[in-house]
Amino acid sequence: MKTTPIAALGVMALALLTAGGGYWLGQRGHTSDAPLAAAPAASVAGAPKVRQLLYYRNPMGLPDTSPTPKKDPMGMDYIAVFEGEDATGSGNSTGVPHLNLSTEKIQKLGVRTEAAQLRTLQRQVRAAGRIEPDERRLFSIAPKFEGYVEHLHVNVTGQWVTKGQPLFEVYSPELVSAQREYALAAQGQESLKGAGDAALMSMTQLAQSALARLRNWDISEAQIKALTRSGEARRSVSFLSPVSGVVMEKKAVQGMRFMPGETLYQVADLSSVWIIADVFEQDIALVKSGQHARALVSAYPDKAFAGRVTYVYPTLKAETRTVQVRVELANPGLLLKPGMFAQVELATPAHSAQVSVPVSAVIDSGRRQVVLVQQGAGRFEPREVKLGLRSDDYVQVLVGVKEREQVVVSANFLIDAESNLKAAITGFGMAPAVPASGPSEAHAAH
């Protein structure tokens, strides 16, 4: 059956009317429902927003998550991550990661804090050293002529001798000839006192020359006077100790022949000794000449020996990275023996008060120094610091910590372990896996 044009036009008009009515009804229904939809939104905005729990992350920063609370193999609780927080659980916008710990975990780890304060630091430089004789108090007995050892008065090493005490007797043909020459010149000088001036002057010059020769050979004045009185040369001459001290070396043997300049005895005055201390390279800037020192030796644990620094050697030992420092100290009773080991403490001058923290608060990785600063209850911020003067218990902080800020001084290495691992993961672009749609999908992935 064929459709007439009038019928076709009627069908088209009916379709247009139906579409327009639906559009009008839709617009009217949307306008009337808008206040009803806005009312609940306005009521929710006034109430505190409840954060949605996303998942639980590994407390050591490992890429492991869980939809439910659990513990890691070390017994540490997994940390809850809520909506709006980053992978570290800090939830801050400063770019500096914070570490959140529960009160229970803080108590288990034994976390303890202390305030950074202004302190006057005085450091003690400690060094190991050895006791040596004072080089200025060492004396060698070496005859200046050739001869033979006829008799030993001091025949053992380590024997105590006094100044002027005979050590040994020697025979020397040269010495006997010099004695006779001086004796004859002295007698001739005495006999020519009434003669002419020229003869007396010549004899006097001869006597003085012979006397100078004996003195140059270290013949004592007492022996010269005895020779002048007797006028007879002695076959052997005694050598005397030039100082009171200890015989450190004895090479003389009875009957031996010695050559000019050969050392037969060495005597040391040990009333004052040296300590040669090895100071580490990083401490040498704190050591100055004239500085007071305190020495301890294991032989006398109840005694402390006072001295002072007299010289800082100009070279460094490459093998030990140390610089030798000379400490001079008195040795009453000769308690300090050469060769003993000693511990030396050098007191450095005190500096002005500076912000300082306990040494235990600093975590030193070799490349950087970090301090954990408490930002609130269970919230800690790792800060890189620049350190200055260090004492036995405290260290000066030049940059990174302000006065009165609380820093972690106990169990900080356990807290920082998490921060280090997360920093390593972030540096390699390996962020922990975050579930896409909440705990249910994370559980399904496991």
Last residue of a domain, one of 293, 316, 347: 347
40 falls within a domain? no
Strands, E assignment, 116-227: 117-119, 124-133, 138-141, 147-152, 160-161, 166-171
Same structural domain for residues 389 and 422?
Answer: yes
Name the pLDDT band for 3 (thresholds 50, 70, 90). Answer: very low
Q: Give first-to-last CA distance, the chain, whole Å.
A: 68
Lowest mean pLDDT among 1-10, 327-336, 346-355: 1-10
Supply the pLDDT for residue 272. 95
- CATH number of the domain enclosing 302: 2.40.30.170
54 falls within a domain? no
Same structural domain for residues 210 and 274?
Answer: no
Residue 253 predicted with pLDDT over 90: yes
Name the pLDDT band for 17 (thresholds 50, 70, 90). Answer: very low
Residue 442 predicted with pLDDT over 60: no
Phi, psi of 357 (to 5 degrees): -130, 160
What integer is the mean pLDDT of 232-236? 83
Q: For 78, which DSSP code?
A: P
Residue 91 predicted with pLDDT over 70: no
Whole-angstrom distance, CA of residue 166 vs CA of residue 89: 88
For 267-325, the pLDDT digits (tens) are 999 999 999 999 999 889 889 999 999 999 999 999 999 999 999 999 999 999 999 99
Whole-angstrom distance, CA of residue 175 vs CA of residue 234: 9
441 falls within a domain? no
> Angle at the Cα of 91 (from 86 to 95), degrees rounded to 5?
80
Same structural domain for residues 258 and 154?
Answer: yes
Percent of the chain clearing pLDDT 70 (strictly above)? 76
Whole-angstrom distance, CA of residue 391 vs CA of residue 101: 31
3 falls within a domain? no
Burial (0-12, 13-18, 19+ Cβ within 10 Å), 250: buried
Supply the pLDDT for residue 32. 41
Same structural domain for residues 338 and 401?
Answer: no
Lowest mean pLDDT among 4-8, 51-55, 367-371: 4-8
What integer is the mean pLDDT of 411-435? 52
Residue 117 predicted with pLDDT over 60: yes
Whole-angstrom distance, CA of residue 189 vs CA of residue 201: 8
Full residue range of the structural domain in which residue 298 is found: 125-134+269-347
For 130-143, the pLDDT digits (tens) are 999 999 999 999 99
Same structural domain for residues 302 and 399?
Answer: no
Supply the pLDDT for residue 266. 95
Give residue 363's identity as a one-letter amino acid code.
Answer: I
310 falls within a domain? yes
Residue 419 predicted with pLDDT over 80: no
Whole-angstrom distance, CA of residue 204 vs CA of residue 198: 10
- CB neighbours (10 Å) of residue 35? 8
Tokens of 24: 């009008």
Supply the pLDDT for residue 400. 84
Same structural domain for residues 254 and 177?
Answer: yes
Last residue of a domain, one of 216, 243, 262: 262
Q: 419 near 97, Cβ under 8 Å?
A: yes
Name the pLDDT band for 49 (thresholds 50, 70, 90). Answer: low
Same structural domain for residues 162 and 253?
Answer: yes
What integer is the mean pLDDT of 392-413? 83
Q: What is the mean pLDDT of the chain?
A: 78
Residue 198 predicted with pLDDT over 80: no
Radius of gyration of the chain measured on its C-alpha atoms: 48
370 falls within a domain? yes
What integer is the mean pLDDT of 204-222? 84
Whole-angstrom distance, CA of residue 159 vs CA of residue 149: 19
Q: For 97, which DSSP code?
A: -
- Quote the crossing angle between the two packed helices 197-216 and 221-230, to the nearest 10°: 140
What integer is the mean pLDDT of 378-393? 82
Last residue of a domain, one of 206, 236, 262: 262
Supply the pLDDT for residue 43. 43
The residue ranking higher by pLDDT, 23 or 337, is 337
112 falls within a domain? yes
- CATH number of the domain enclosing 112: 2.40.420.20
411 falls within a domain? yes
Q: How many domains does the chain have?
A: 3
Supply the pLDDT for residue 277. 96
Q: 115 near 397, Cβ under 8 Å?
A: no
Of 365, 404, 403, which is closest to residue 382 (Cα–Cα)? 365
What integer is the mean pLDDT of 153-177? 92
Of 377, 367, 364, 380, which is closest to residue 415 (Cα–Cα)? 380
The residue ranking higher by pLDDT, 82 or 263, is 263
Lowest mean pLDDT among 204-213, 221-230, 332-341, 436-445: 436-445
Same structural domain for residues 156 and 210?
Answer: yes
- CB neighbours (10 Å) of residue 296? 16
Residue 428 predicted with pLDDT over 50: no
pTM of the model: 0.57
Same structural domain for residues 408 and 363?
Answer: yes
Composition of the chain by helix, strand, coil, percent to 5: 30, 35, 35
